[in-house]
Structure 1
Amino acid sequence: MLPPAFAEKVEDIVPVEQDSKEQVEEQTYVDVSVMSVWAEPNNTRKLDAPALSNPVQPWEWTESMTLDDKLWLVGNLDTQALYGMEVEVLKEEGDWTKVAVEGQSTPLHEEGYPGWVPSRQLSESTNFAKMQDRDMASTTASTAFLYEEKELETEIIEVSFNTRLPVVSEQEDKVMVATPSDGNKWMAKEDITVYEDIEAIPAPSATDLVETAESFMGLPYLWAGVSGFGFDCSGFTHSIYKAHGITIPRDSSVQAEQGEHVARSDLQAGDLVFFARNGGTGDVHHVGMYIGNGEMIHSPNSRSTVEKVVIDESDYANSYHSASRYLPNES
């Protein structure tokens, strides 16, 4: 159990009608717009305060960091999780909780990507758990606001691309969604797509994947990032595929091991291309998405932003390793 101070704040989510005999277990959910998952507890800096609070201030955090500040994150920050995502609690230590992030597959833990988070950023909720069989509002904008009222005037929280929340009610141009601990809020329909469930997300074409990736052109890189506030290389590819209903591993090295391996001469748009140390023969350390004509789109490093490059003219020209396809071959 989480410390009482960090348990669910309110219980005003509209409940789902249930058989009186049916019991829904209390689950643990991410209670901030984007939750950073750290390698160790209590190993953060003063400048990380906007990422450790509840609510968080992701833009304030990322925009305040120098290049050296960003490079420090390598090895200290492992991944991120989005508002409303379920996590498995593994261990508690003071004001920190070790969790496994469900939906981010990794050999590191069978339940999901493991790491440490401030306990204040988690919420235990039975009501939110009951809502999980409702229609799902999936955020398609790079970021979007949740509003207090249906007039969409009072901004409550800015959430990321790929944030998925249960739909309470739906109107012509807006929807009411449930949140983990703050009751029901409103979202503009232009920022979301409503699906019955994850399985109802249409199978994408290569063009769909590329267009989604291109919508983030110019977004600054963030080590361990998986959100519209900043991606790392594999967080970028993982998130693009996830938005289209396809779950792939979280890290580039594991992404390279799965999918259908394809020869470089057979590359198609949407394929993932991997790069490795020692001239492409060593450990995989980078991934991009092939977009055709010898180009890829990727989130390269802390010095740069999401960009398109010609592979053979890029810094990765001499480190090509392999490619994997997670879409069926196009006819």
Structure 2
Amino acid sequence: MKKGIICFFTVIVLGVGLSRVVLAKEKQPIAGKKAYIDVSVATLWTAPNILRSVDLPSSTNPVDMRKWTSSMSLEQQLQLSDDGMLETQALYGNKVTILERNGDWVKVAVEGQLTPRNDLGYPGWMPIKQLTYDKKFAKKKDAPFVLVESPTAFLYKNASLKKKGLEISYNTRLPYITETKQAFKVLQPDGKTAWISKGDGQYFQSEKSIPYPTGEDLVKTAKKFLGLHYLWAGMSGFGFDCSGFTFTIYQSHGITIPRDSSVQAQNGTEVPLDQLQPGDLLFFAYDEGKGKVHHVAMYIGNGMMIHSPNSKKDVEIIPLKTKGYYEELAGARRYLVPDPINALKH
């Protein structure tokens, strides 16, 4: 009888594939393996095991992003940046490469977050229990998908949308399975399925099928987040930092730009300040604009800009010539091209 139970258990584990449990319990080195984010938003830290008690809701599976962001005092929010505690965040279903392991933590590189720090993606430490691997999900990399277009949205356990599951972020992509009149059925990173309201997401055949945006399209998307409180290293509808905000707006429209403001400022096409167009990125630097770039905003037209400023504020629209910013204006970059169809051919 015991042998039968053991065999049955083994079949279940093998059937799941390289699951969250297997990843967490694996004793051998796992560097180089691919995995997928198994929580709505995974926060990547500069080192393992440096979390404060207030940060615990961000390290569980599932996470509670709202509890974490709302429970931090201003001083605790500022400590994240002042002490250099965070690197970036990754969204549900994002693919990562495991670089190294330290106990229950792994250092990963987030695919699609461009940085000169690592060719595989943006690096940082996270709890291994927030990762999973499922062969069915992995095979859907180039399959049609549903892109979340609401700031945040719930997944549901049934097509009637009455039983809520995870609350996930804007710009999350999940493989498409089928649909009803009111909902899409999607595949989750662990191989299970869920439903999302058609009011919260849009179907795309492929990444290339996302319509090329105008500057006005980018501005319209950015305005969805007005009033959202800043989060250092934030990359989601639960909170952005300045460059996570601009990165996400562009990526959600099918354009990938570098993750950090200092690198965003070195790419794209330089734009004279008297020729700004909506969607252009504005960069601000120390020493009256001549030093290191420390902030980015998006120009929205009529001398105004939108940005996620700092831990004391929310996403806001202010004049470009606002005191404290205009003195540090270092330049502007354009990531949209005038003829995207021909540009893609070259």
| 1:70 counterpart residue number | 77
Q: Describe how 1:40-189 pairs up with structure 2 within 5 A.
A: 40-74=47-81, 75-181=84-190, 183-189=192-198
Is 1:5 the counterpart of 2:21? The answer is yes
User: What code does the residue aligned with 1:44 have?
Assistant: L
Asked if the contact 2:134/2:191 (under 8 Å) is kept, the reply is no
| 1:258 counterpart residue number | 267
The residue matched to 2:160 in structure 1 has which SS?
coil
Among 279, 283, 295, the alignment partner of 1:274 is: 283
Is 1:286 the counterpart of 2:295? The answer is yes
Higher relative contact order, structure no. (Cα contacts within 8 Å, ≥ 6 residues apart) = 1
Once the two structures are superposed, residues 87-107 of structure 1 have per-residue CA deviations (whole angstroms, 9 ceiling, x without a partner) of 011001100010000010001
Distance in 1 separating the partners of 2:250 and 2:302:
21
Asked if the contact 2:147/2:202 (under 8 Å) is kept, the reply is yes
Distance in 2 separating the partners of 1:4 and 1:69:
30
Distance in 2 separating the partners of 1:303 and 1:192:
31
Distance in 1 separating the partners of 2:180 and 2:215:
32
The residue matched to 1:131 in structure 2 has which SS?
coil
What's the C-alpha RMSD, in Å, of the aligned pairs? 1.7
Q: What's the CA shift for 1:72?
A: 1.1
User: What code does the residue aligned with 2:123 have?
Assistant: P
Distance in 2 separating the partners of 1:282 and 1:265:
22
Asked if the contact 2:19/2:132 (under 8 Å) is kept, the reply is no
The residue matched to 1:89 in structure 2 has which SS?
strand
Q: What's the CA shift for 1:182?
A: 5.5
Q: What's the CA shift for 1:315?
A: 2.3
| 2:43 counterpart residue number | 36
TM-score scaled by length of structure 1:
0.92
Asked if the contact 1:6/1:122 (under 8 Å) is kept, the reply is no
Distance in 2 separating the partners of 1:93 and 1:124:
19
Is 1:195 the counterpart of 2:204? The answer is yes
Once the two structures are superposed, residues 32-80 of structure 1 have per-residue CA deviations (whole angstroms, 9 ceiling, x without a partner) of 0000000000111011010000000000000001111101111100100
The structure with more radius of gyration: 2
Is 1:317 the counterpart of 2:333? The answer is no
Distance in 2 separating the partners of 1:255 and 1:149:
41
Asked if the contact 1:6/1:119 (under 8 Å) is kept, the reply is no
Asked if the contact 1:134/1:168 (under 8 Å) is kept, the reply is no
Among 229, 232, 242, the alignment partner of 2:241 is: 232
Decide whether aligned partners of structure 1 residues 6 and 62 sit closer, same or farther in structure 2, where only a CA change above 3 A counts: farther
Asked if the contact 2:20/2:131 (under 8 Å) is kept, the reply is no
- Identify unmatched segments of 5+ residues in structure 2: 1-16, 25-32, 340-346
Structure number with the higher helix fraction is 2
User: What code does the residue aligned with 1:5 have?
Assistant: V
Is 1:217 the counterpart of 2:233? The answer is no
Distance in 1 separating the partners of 2:245 and 2:323:
19
Q: What's the CA shift for 1:170?
A: 1.7
TM-score scaled by length of structure 2:
0.88
Decide whether aligned partners of structure 1 residues 182 and 154 sit closer, same or farther in structure 2, where only a CA change above 3 A counts: farther
Q: How many residues align?
A: 314
Asked if the contact 2:244/2:260 (under 8 Å) is kept, the reply is yes
User: What code does the residue aligned with 1:55 have?
Assistant: P
- Identify unmatched segments of 5+ residues in structure 1: 9-25
Q: What's the CA shift for 1:313?
A: 2.1
Decide whether aligned partners of structure 1 residues 276 and 6 sit closer, same or farther in structure 2, where only a CA change above 3 A counts: farther
Q: What's the CA shift for 1:125?
A: 1.8
Distance in 2 separating the partners of 1:3 and 1:182:
9
Distance in 2 separating the partners of 1:174 and 1:226:
26
